[in-house]
Amino acid sequence: EALTGRRVLSRAMAARGAYRCIECSRVAAELYRDYRRGVLRISICKSCQKPVDKYIEYDPVIILINAILCKAQAYRHILFNTKINIHGKLCIFCLLCEAYLRWLQLQDSSQNVDPDDLIRYAKEWDFYRMFGIASLEQTSFLIGIFITLWWMRLDMLKTKSDFILLLKALLLSSYGKLLLIPAVIWEHDYTPLCLAFIKVFVLISNSQAIRVTLNLNRILPWLAIFFGLIFENGVVCLFKKMGWDV
How does pLDDT run across 32-72, given as a tens digit for each residue?
A: 877 776 677 888 888 888 999 999 888 989 999 999 999 99
DSSP string computed for 74-134: HHHHHHHSS----HHHHHHHHHHHHHHHHHHHHHHH-------HHHHHHHHHHHHHHHHHH
Backbone dihedral angles phi then psi of residue 124, each to the nearest 5 degrees: -65, -40
Longest dimension (CA), the chain: 71
| Domain ranges across the chain | 1-59, 86-242
The identity of residue 212, as a single letter, is: V
Q: Would you state the pLDDT for residue 9?
A: 43
Q: Would you state the pLDDT for residue 77?
A: 92
Q: Would you state the pLDDT for residue 76?
A: 92
C-alpha angle with apex 236: 231 to 241, nearest 5 degrees? 125
Q: Would you state the pLDDT for residue 125?
A: 82
Question: DSSP 3-state assignment of 51?
Answer: strand
Contact of 43 with 33, CB cutoff 8 Å:
yes
- pTM for the model: 0.81
Low-confidence ranges of the chain (pLDDT < 70): 1-18, 37-38, 108-123, 154, 187-190, 244-246
Other C-beta atoms within 10 Å of 158: how many? 10
